[in-house]
């Protein structure tokens, strides 16, 4: 079975997983894969304030620890930390990842993949020789050194991010390992992802593993997984029992189910009952996390915009200037908003007014988010001639004007390319060397 461990940043996912790994190891359960513990710096001893300055990778089962990534600009004082938290922009790149570390971790994951594939081939050959069909869960039986069957173990991947899921970079061999699916040697896996990537990971891996179980750090999921790994329960029996354990089906599992419903059938089909049925729980479980249906709707819509807009606007390419970023933003927004209105807001007459308002509020929230990203990129664009910018005009003013033109473009009220072309030719010192410096195409209007 595949478990997707999720939550927002710095919510204790790795600490929870480390405790689970330690518990299972003490019980003799094999655990293989990679953990990603944080590296913390004590910057205020009086208030016991820590700041995360890096991430290491621990290779399992051996325990080798590798320095994986470090912050490029860690704060050194409490005042610097407060300023960073106030001014931090999602577009900013703050982490330096070691290419050597990536190569070493991927090599470890490839070895695990080769072992999984060898076990699969061996099991299939054995079954074929006996004239028996081989199901995926029957493969990879493995054996201990004394010839006794190896105890079923747990694969751990901490964590999959945008590098792996969207760009095929980073720990790409983790996806290859997980694509092998369950075997008797490793019938279960825990994968750590950020909340807005849960949908993507499910869609990538459920064909190999079957329906994933979305969990968050807590006692109930830890006890449930421990019992699954140590009590010898079959997956179907465990799934039926786990649903009755308070805390095993959490907020993220409900949002993920709601996302599927809204994506397939529109927001009008999203109800407390439909989400409860999809998760196999009582409606009271949903109400423990969402006081009203509107609260559930807002959370699901928020996940849509996180999933579709964050990959485009939460990473700034150092080689991309302000105008190029704005043009990319316009093209991405057109696709996202068209899809949201056509697919999610279908049958809008059937959507309660309060939920339509919630949908518009989420759109507005992300527009503000994008505006801050524009201002951030403008401030850091070294190609802009600052002397050409009026003293009274701030980066926020430029971002507001740009976003307004882009939105008007999306509604067919103007051609934002004209403004972007004018910016290119008025703000930059070297227009001929800048990308996209040509004149805009005629709009026909």
Please give the distance of CA 112 from its chain centroid, rounded to a whole number: 24
Q: In this structure, what are the phi and psi dihedrals at residue 148, rounded to the nearest 5 degrees?
A: -75, 150
Percent of the chain with pLDDT over 70: 77
Q: How confident is the model at residue 90 (pLDDT cuts 50, 70, 90)?
A: very low
pLDDT at 440 over 70: no
Q: What number of other Cβ atoms are within 10 A of residue 445's Cβ?
A: 7
Q: Output the average pLDDT for the chain.
A: 80
pLDDT at 83 over 50: no
pLDDT at 115 over 60: yes
Say which residues have a Cβ less than 8 Å from residue 131's Cβ, sequence separation at least 6: none
Cα torsion through 86, 303, 314, 106, rounded to 10:
120
pLDDT at 142 over 60: no
Q: What is the pLDDT at residue 402?
A: 93
More confident residue, 305 or 3: 3
Q: What is the pLDDT at residue 48?
A: 52
Q: What is the pLDDT at residue 52?
A: 75
Q: How confident is the model at residue 114 (pLDDT cuts 50, 70, 90)?
A: very high
Tokens of 156: 């751990």
Return the closest-CA partner of residue 157 out of 169, 172, 174, 170. 174
Encode pLDDT of 146-156 as tens digits. 333 468 899 99
Encode pLDDT of 257-298 as tens digits. 999 999 888 888 999 999 999 888 889 889 989 998 888 998
User: How far is it, in rounded angstroms, from Cα 185 to Cα 30?
Assistant: 9
Q: What is the pLDDT at residue 376?
A: 86
Interval 224-248 mean pLDDT: 68
Interval 44-51 mean pLDDT: 61
CA-to-CA separations, 118 to 115, 125, 156, in angstroms, rounded: 5, 11, 19
pLDDT at 92 over 70: no
Interval 358-375 mean pLDDT: 81
pLDDT at 81 over 50: no
pLDDT at 160 over 50: yes
What angle do helix axes 219-230 and 235-242 make, rounded to 10 degrees?
160
Encode pLDDT of 201-215 as tens digits. 999 999 999 989 999
Tokens of 126: 């054995």
Say which residues have a Cβ less than 8 Å from residue 226's Cβ, sequence separation at least 6: 20, 23, 24, 27
Handedness of CA 235, 150, 222, 112 (dihedral sign): negative
Interval 288-309 mean pLDDT: 88
Q: What is the pLDDT at residue 132?
A: 57
Does residue 296 contact residue 290 with C-beta atoms inside 8 Å? yes
Query: Model-level pTM?
Result: 0.74
């Amino acid at each position: 079975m595949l478990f997707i461990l999720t939550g927002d940043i710095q919510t204790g996912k790795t600490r929870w997983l480390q405790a689970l790994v330690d518990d299972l190891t003490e019980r003799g359960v094999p655990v293989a894969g990679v953990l990603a513990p944080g590296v913390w710096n004590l910057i205020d001893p009086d208030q016991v304030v820590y700041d995360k300055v890096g991430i290491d990778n621990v290779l399992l089962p051996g325990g080798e620890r590798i320095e994986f990534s470090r912050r490029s600009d860690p704060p050194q004082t409490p005042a610097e930390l407060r300023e960073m938290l106030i001014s931090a922009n999602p577009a900013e790149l703050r982490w330096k990842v070691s290419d050597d570390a990536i190569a070493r971790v991927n090599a470890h994951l490839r070895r695990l993949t080769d072992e999984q594939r060898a076990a699969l081939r061996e099991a299939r050959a054995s079954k074929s020789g006996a004239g028996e069909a081989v199901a995926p869960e029957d493969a990879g039986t493995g054996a201990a050194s004394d010839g006794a069957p190896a105890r079923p173990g747990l694969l751990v991947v901490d964590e999959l991010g945008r590098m792996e899921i969207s760009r095929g970079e980073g720990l790409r061999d983790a996806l290859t390992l997980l694509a092998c699916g369950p075997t008797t040697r490793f019938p279960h896996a825990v994968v750590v992802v950020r909340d807005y990537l849960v949908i993507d990971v499910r869609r990538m891996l459920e064909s190999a593993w079957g329906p994933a179980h979305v969990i968050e750090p807590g006692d109930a999921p830890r006890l449930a997984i421990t019992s699954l790994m140590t009590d010898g329960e079959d997956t179907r029996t465990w799934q039926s029992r786990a649903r009755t354990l308070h805390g095993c089906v959490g907020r993220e599992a409900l949002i993920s189910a709601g996302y599927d419903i809204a994506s397939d059938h529109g927001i009008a089909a999203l109800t407390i009952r439909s989400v409860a049925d999809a998760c196999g729980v009582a409606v009271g479980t949903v109400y423990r996390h969402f006081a009203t249906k509107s609260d559930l709707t807002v959370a699901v819509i928020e996940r849509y915009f996180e999933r579709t807009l964050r990959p485009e606007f939460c990473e700034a390419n150092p080689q991309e200037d302000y105008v190029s970023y704005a043009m990319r933003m316009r093209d991405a927004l057109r696709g996202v908003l068209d899809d949201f209105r056509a697919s999610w807001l279908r049958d809008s007459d059937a959507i309660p007014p309060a939920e339509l308002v919630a949908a518009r509020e989420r759109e507005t929230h992300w527009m503000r988010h994008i505006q801050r990203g524009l201002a951030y990129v403008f401030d850091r664009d070294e190609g802009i001639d600052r002397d050409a910018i009026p003293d009274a005009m701030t980066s926020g003013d430029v971002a507001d004007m740009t976003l307004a033109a882009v939105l008007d473009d999306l509604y067919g009220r103007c051609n934002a390319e004209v403004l972007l072309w004018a910016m290119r030719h008025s703000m930059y010192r070297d227009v001929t060397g800048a990308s996209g410096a040509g004149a805009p195409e005629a709009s026909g209007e």
